[in-house]
Structure 1
Amino acid sequence: MDPPRSQIRPGLTVDIVQKQDQASGRLTRGVVAALLTRSPSHPHGIKVRLTTGQVGRVQAVVSPGGGE
């Protein structure tokens, strides 16, 4: 199950799947800049924008803010 919106905030390192990678399941790792999904949960994952400008749906939270 993908993490709910309440567990995601700017500054967290996460793995996302971008739209073009959904078929392959390739994950991209980055730091959350903004949350784009308003609902508390989403069946495909909460959509976020990374600090690099990439947009995708969160599959996993890697570290709780700034690295462990």
Structure 2
Amino acid sequence: MNGQKRSDVKVGALVDIVLKADQRTGKLTQGRVGRLLTKSPNHPHGIKVMLADGQVGRIAKIYEEN
């Protein structure tokens, strides 16, 4: 999943995000979703989240967990 639909994102999910400072390079940061910050049902650049450690960015990838 690419993280553009809010309904795909769950608190606690393992995700890769792009931090604001890394938008030019596209460097990914991995972590667990702590809070969803985007209110709309979808966003073309990815749903904005705050990770459990406090970092904020837009989701690039959501990992499937079994």
TM-score, structure 1 normalization: 0.88
Which residue matches 1:37?
Answer: 38
Please report how far the alpha carbon of residue 61 of structure 1 lies from its aligned counterpart in structure 2 after TM superposition: 0.3
Which residue matches 2:23?
Answer: 22
Please report how far the alpha carbon of residue 55 of structure 1 lies from its aligned counterpart in structure 2 after TM superposition: 0.2
Which residue matches 1:2?
Answer: 2
Listed as ranges, the gaps of 5+ residues in structure 2 are none
Q: Is the 8 A contact 1:46 1:58 kept in 2?
A: yes
Which residue matches 2:47?
Answer: 46
What is the identity percentage for the equivalent residue pairs of Structure 1 and Structure 2?
52
Report the RMSD for the aligned CA atoms in angstroms: 1.4
Offset from partner CA, 1:6-43 (integer Å, 9 cap, x none): 00010100000000000000000000000000001111
- Alignment partner of 2:21: what SS? helix
For 2:32, give the aligned amino acid. V
Listed as ranges, the gaps of 5+ residues in structure 1 are none
Query: Aligned residues, how many?
Result: 65
